[in-house]
């Protein structure tokens, strides 16, 4: 079974500063993918970034980067230069490539960006 | 390219009734997954369809069912509604064909309230 743990229920960050959202995972499957999604108050889940278990380099997408530490089973999201529009819930999720391929989500972190 | 669409966006039903939710995936995507999101349980996987076949199913009672049509559109049905079925139901489509791990793109969700 897979498990995602997000230990920060809520985070505050000042506008224009960087913030790291923590995510640890657990799986016995060697092939998996890690995802981060943003969910604004409107409810839609917005895909941010993806990291494959065999990828050698950390994924980056604009202001988002994923700090992937495979030995520690962590996949932290780093948002650089925070903007007010970044205020939302952020979910870390995992999907394995064999057998059941549903996304397993963490409990989420609510990020609030302050002016 | 149009995103994932879900209809209706909001729904109010009475206990004991049944409900059908619809999801149209991104053009070209053949995999559709459904998730239930509640404050207490978080995001939970319901089922995944690919080429009109259910590939995976989460741990939900048989009252929850789904299907996928030849054009990849999907519907989920909940019969004999219970108060606990009140939730945001999210549909996600993926370009997943076989193997690999591809990102899932979510729709805006259908918010179901059972009274």
pLDDT digits (tens, 9 = 90+) for A11-38: 999 999 999 999 999 999 888 999 999 9
Token representation of residue A67: 């700090």
Token representation of residue A87: 């205020």
**Continuous segment of H or E residues that includes residue A63:** none
CA torsion sign for A21, A106, A112, A40 is positive
Distances (CA, A) of A74 to B53, B77, B106: 34, 37, 24
Predicted pLDDT of residue B1: 65
Do the chains contact at A44 and B108, CB–CB below 8 Å? yes
A75 min Cα distance to partner chain B (Å):
16
End-to-end alpha-carbon separation of chain B, Å?
37
What is the distance, to the nearest Å, from the Cα of residue A72 to the centroid of all Cα atoms in its chain? Answer: 15
The Cα–Cα gap between A98 and B65 comes to: 23
The Cα–Cα gap between B28 and A85 comes to: 30
Predicted pLDDT of residue A102: 82
Nearest Cα to Cα of residue B22 among B7, B42, B36: B7
What percent of chain B stands above pLDDT 70? 93
Nearest Cα to Cα of residue B114 among B76, B85, B78, B80: B85
Task: Identify from A102, A105, A106 which residue to disrupt to test chain B contact, counting B C-beta atoms within 10 A and taking the largest count.
Answer: A102
Res. A2 pLDDT band, cuts 50 70 90: confident
């Amino acid at each position: 079974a897979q498990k995602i743990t997000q230990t920060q229920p809520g985070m505050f960050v000042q506008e224009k500063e960087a913030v790291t959202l923590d995510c640890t995972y657990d799986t016995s499957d060697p092939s998996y993918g890690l995802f981060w999604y943003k969910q604004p108050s409107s409810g839609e889940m917005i895909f941010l970034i993806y990291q494959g278990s065999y990828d050698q380099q950390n994924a980056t997408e604009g202001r988002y980067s994923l700090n992937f530490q495979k030995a520690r089973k962590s996949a932290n999201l780093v948002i650089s230069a925070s903007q007010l529009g970044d205020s939302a819930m952020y979910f870390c999720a995992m999907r394995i490539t064999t057998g059941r391929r549903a996304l397993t989500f963490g409990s989420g972190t609510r990020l609030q960006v302050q002016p | 390219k149009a995103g994932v669409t879900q209809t209706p966006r909001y729904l109010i039903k009475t206990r004991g009734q049944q409900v059908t939710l619809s999801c149209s995936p991104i053009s070209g995507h053949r995999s559709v997954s459904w998730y239930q999101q509640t404050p207490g349980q978080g995001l939970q996987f319901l089922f995944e369809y690919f080429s009109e076949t259910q590939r995976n199913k989460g741990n939900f009672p048989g009252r929850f069912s789904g299907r996928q049509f030849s054009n990849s559109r999907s519907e989920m049905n909940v019969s004999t509604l219970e108060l606990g079925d009140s939730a945001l139901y999210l549909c996600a489509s993926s370009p997943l064909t076989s193997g690999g791990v591809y990102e899932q793109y979510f729709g805006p969700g259908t918010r179901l309230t059972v009274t």
